[in-house]
Chains A and B, each alone.
Chain A
Amino acid sequence: MERKPFKTEPFHAPDRGEHNPWQRFLERAESALSPTASEAAADLVSQIEAARAALDAAESSD
C-alpha cells in the first residue's frame, strides 16, 4: 500500500478554544451592561450568563 507523504503543514486543533471568541464577545457585552441598573439590563446579563455557561460546558466536553 502506498504511504501518504509526510505532512509539513503545522498541526492545528481547530476544535479546542473554538468557543473562546464567543466568550469574549459575551464578556465585553456583560461588562458594558454592568453599570446600568435597569430590569432589561439584568435580563440581558442573565441571558449572557446562560450562554457563557453553555459554551463552557461545550468547551470542556470537546
Chain B
Amino acid sequence: MSALAIRPPPVTGALRDKQSARAETFIHLKDSNIKLRVMIYRGQVSRLRPLVILNSVEFAMPPSIAFCEQMWANGLQVIFVERPGFGASTTLPKALFTDALIAKGATATTEAALMQDLMRELNLKDVILLGMGSANPVCYRLALLCNEISLSLYSNVVFNKDILDVFRPKWLQHMFRQTLQSKAGVKIASAGIKYRLRRKPVEFYRLLMHQSAGDVRYVNAHAADFVDAGRLFQSIDHATMECDLRMSLTPDALLKDGLFEDRNAIAFSGLETPDHWRAQLDSEAERLAIPVAYAPRGDFLAPYASPDFFLSVIKDNVTDQAVSAT
C-alpha cells in the first residue's frame, strides 16, 4: 500500500455518540468563521460551576463519563475544549507559527485570547480551569487574561524544567528531542508517533504511561477513548504539534519569579511521577510561588486517575459553597 493510501479512519466511539452525555458540539465564535469543538457534559451549560479542561497534545479527548459524573455529583460541570488545530477545531492562522512568535509566547497568547472569547460566548462564570500537559502555557496565560477564572490547576505541567531525560521508552525521548532541533525533526517525530498510533493506539498509550500504574489503569478502563485519541492525533498538523512541544519543552519567558504569588493556582501532579520530574517541578514551583498537589495515583492523567483527591484539592481552594459534598 502506498503512503498516500493511508487515511485515518473516521472518528467513532464516544465523540461520535450523539446520545452520549459527552456528545460534542461546535461553538461558532461571534462574527467569525472560527469554530471550536466543545464537550459540555450533559449537553448544555448548567448552573453548576464550570470545570473547563483544555487538552494536551498526546490525548485530545475529554475525561471519562465516570469522571464527569463524579464532578457533576460534586457541583462541577465538565466542559472540555478541543484546542485549535486538534481534531475539528479551527487552527490558528499560519502567520502565527513562526519561530520568533512561538519563542516569544505570542502564539500561545493568541490561543488564550481565543479561549477567553469562548468563555465569554458560553457565558461561563466562576470557572475552575484544568490544563492538561502541553495545554498549560495557554492555560496560565488564560488565567492571567480572564477574570472569570477563580482557580487554575495545571496538571503535568513542565514549567521550564529540563525533563526530556524522564521520557521512556528511549525512542519517545529521541522523538521529543527531534522536535526541538528542526522543523524536519518535528515532521519525522510526528510521522513516527502517528504511525505507532495508527497501528496499536492503546498499546502506545500503555507504553507512554507505563511508569504510572494509575494512568495505565485509566487507559485500560477507557480503551475506546484512547483509540479515538489515536485517530484524532492523525489530524494534528506539524505546526500545531511543534508549537505545543516547544512551548512545553523550552523556556517560557513569561515564567518569571513569583508569577503565581497573587493567583489562586495549583500545580497538580501525581506521586507516580518519576523522581526527577518531581524534583524539577518542586524547584520551579518554589521559584514561581505556586503550591504543588501530589495525587496518590497517576502521572500524565493524574486528575483522572485520582478524582477523589482532585476534588479535595478544589474544595480546599475555592471560597464559596458551589462545590458540594457528595
A32 touches B104 (CB 8 A): no
Residues in chain B near residue A25, CB distance under 8 A:
29, 110, 113-114, 116-117
With contacts A26-B110, A54-B106 taken as known, whether A44 is within 8 angstroms of B98 at the C-beta atoms is no
Size class of the contact patch on chain A: 20 to 34
Q: Which among B61-69, B124-132, B187-195, B252-260 touches the partner chain?
A: B252-260
How many Å lie between the Cα of A26 and that of B34 in the bound state?
14
The reply to whether A55 and B95 contact each other, CB–CB distance below 8 Å, is yes
Q: Are A39 and B256 in contact (CB under 8 A)?
A: yes
Query: B107: CB under 8 A from chain A?
Result: yes
B33 at the A interface (CB under 8 A): yes
Q: Closest Cβ of chain A: how far from B57's Cβ, in Å?
A: 21
User: How far, in angstroms, from A33 to B109 measured CA to CA in the complex?
Assistant: 12
Q: Is B144 an interface residue (CB 8 A)?
A: yes
A51 and B96 contact, Cβ closer than 8 Å, known pairs A21-B32, A25-B110, A44-B109:
yes
Q: Does A7 contact B (CB under 8 A)?
A: no
A22 and B109 in contact, given A47-B104, A54-B96 (Cβ under 8 angstroms): no
Does the CB pair A19–B95 fall under 8 Å?
yes
> Of the candidates A20, A28, A50, which one forms a contact with B117 in the assembled complex, judged by CB atoms under 8 Å apart?
A28
Docked-complex contact B113 and A48, CB < 8 angstroms: yes
Given contacts A40-B254, A43-B254, A47-B104, contact A55 B113 (CB under 8 A): no
A21 contacts B31, CB within 8 Å? yes
- A residues within 8 A CB of B210? none
Q: CB < 8 Å: which of A21, A39, A50 contacts B34?
A: A21
The residue that B109 contacts in the complex, of A21, A47, A55, A57, with Cβ under 8 A, is A47
**Can you add 18 more A-B contacts, CB < 8 Å, to A48-B109, A51-B106, A58-B93?**
A19-B95, A21-B29, A21-B31, A21-B34, A22-B92, A25-B117, A26-B113, A28-B113, A28-B117, A29-B113, A33-B144, A43-B253, A44-B145, A47-B104, A47-B108, A48-B113, A50-B106, A54-B98
Interface of B with A (CB < 8 Å)?
A: 29, 31-34, 92-96, 98, 100-101, 104-110, 112-114, 116-117, 141, 144-147, 253-254, 256, 259
